[in-house]
Structure 1
Amino acid sequence: MKKIYLYGMIIASNSFRLKEFPEPDRYSEIEESCRFPGGETGTCATVLSSLGANVILDGTYIGRNSAQLIKDFYKNKSVNCDLLHFDDSFEGLEDYVIITGDARTPMGTFGHFFSSAFSGGIKRWNKPDEKAVSECDCAAIDPFFGEDSDLAAEYCIRHGKPYVTIDCKYDSFLHRNSAVSVISGEGLNNDYPDMTREEIFPLFQENGNGLTIITNGGKEFLYGRKGGELKTFQPFRVDVKSTLGAGDTFKAGCTYALSMGMNDNELVRFASACAAVAVSRYPSQLYPPAVSEVERLIKSR
């Protein structure tokens, strides 16, 4: 079993799958609802454990309202929570997600969480753990913690550990030194709203030393390396029940594939199949993809 260090967002997620999206002053029926550990790193940990990896979890402080959920959820999984800081002084980060078919609308307090932290308030996340990085096979790093995210990348470089990251800017330290950098549609809209994927891809490609992937939901996505050709991949087609966690599962698939030494084509195929299995069920966090399911879907094409 590969040992993988994850550094980033771990939260409690509350999801509600509706028959139809709510309109103002109109009733909407909740078909299913669930509460589970989420966030880019929380979901990634769940998927990697299901794929057979040993995970070392690190990142956000866990508040009093989500502490028991996190402890109970991971206690029988190959996810080590010893580095997590449980902080009873605040409620903890949670999001609330409305899901209808292939659309989802998340709500939360992340803007306040980060604006407070970066304007002199309390930073409720750990510093990355260099010892844990030095002992892992590879890592995945969320970019949201500023200089602390960069520090996690520096530890990876120092100890020769490849890492996956997501939604970085093309001129960032994290992107430049990553083994795999995945950019989502949401990431592009936030940082480069006036540029198409085709326009921005060469900038990521030439400023990175690893593999760049720009996803596009269920549509064809782009990938390639500096000095190499631009490649495309058509995602696997499945009956979509919920897209919640699709991007985080794709990240997990990339991380697992990196740890297993897959080449670029194998990596994007495996990650895409992981995400496809995830969106075919609800909630995927409770029923994450297994390697056998991913391989079966790949063979079906």
Structure 2
Amino acid sequence: MSSPPAALPVRILGTGQALPTRVVSTAEVAALCDPSGGLTAEAAEARTGVRERRWLSGAETALTLGAEAARNALAAANLDLEDIDVLLNASGSQAQPIPDGGALLARELGLSGRAAYSLHGTCLSFLLAMQHASLLIASGQARHVLIVSTEGGSVGLNMNQPESALLIGDGAAAVVLGQAVRPGQGLHAARIETYPEGADHTRIVGGGTLRHPRDPAVQPAEYLFDMQGLGVLKLASRVVPAFLERLRPGLSSGLVGISRVIPHQASKVGLDLLRRYGWPADRVEVTLPTLGNVIAASLPLTLHGALSSGRAGEGDTLLLVGTGAGLTAGGIIFEV
């Protein structure tokens, strides 16, 4: 039997977060979705598992939040901005199509003359960036990589679709990665699988070359978030168990060698599905009730919560896992 591949020697040097000041209750969102009062706050919370979330307000933007989270992560890592070799923008919602969001974040931070670009995989953008950063560091192409996931999805919600409007929150998180200091520390496994039969289940169709501003047939609603949750859940239920086995045999029936699970906070139903895999609830990190689904920032926000609280720490093996639009399933196994 062949030995498992060695870990990419990388460590988490620091994490940080930044949240909008405005706290929005589920009752407030329910009233926006159904002004008649037919959708009660109690029913909405029971359906989604979200009590409150943060939404952008005032002068806040996703870029200002991302820069704040980045500075917090740098402070936690005891590094200066000049120590960063590569800045990766790992966000599902973008400030604008061009230039790349990496350049916009770099400008917000005051970082010039360094590589700054995006890895975009909707809700799984952070996983892509973490794998990419690990490869850069392990190959000696970078010493320190700063990953920023920042989301302002509330501006594009369709209140005629309570299923998604009740879920989405805004926020940002950042992670600084550097070289490992002990054997076994780092990225042990990473896997991404895409099932394009689910491409129309989660989408924003306006704003690209297919539904462009000069097309008179384009309707304003096409620039809003559109999700068919039942279709997502059906497809995910079918493909995720086998995906987990390919990531690491035994994961579809238990936590094989995993200290703590850091899941994407897709929805209450999505988190409840994790019980089917035999994962104990006390080893699964949950931020959905107070933050909602913060798109690509959900994973690093949840990771930051686990590390900053001490529920996960040095020597622990973490499973970061979730699904995103596409439909894409992704997971990383990382030893802190």
Q: Based on CA coordinates, which of the two structures has the bigger radius of gyration? A: 2
How does the TM-score come out when normalised to structure 2?
Answer: 0.28
- Relative contact order (C-alpha < 8 Å, sep 6+): which is higher? 2
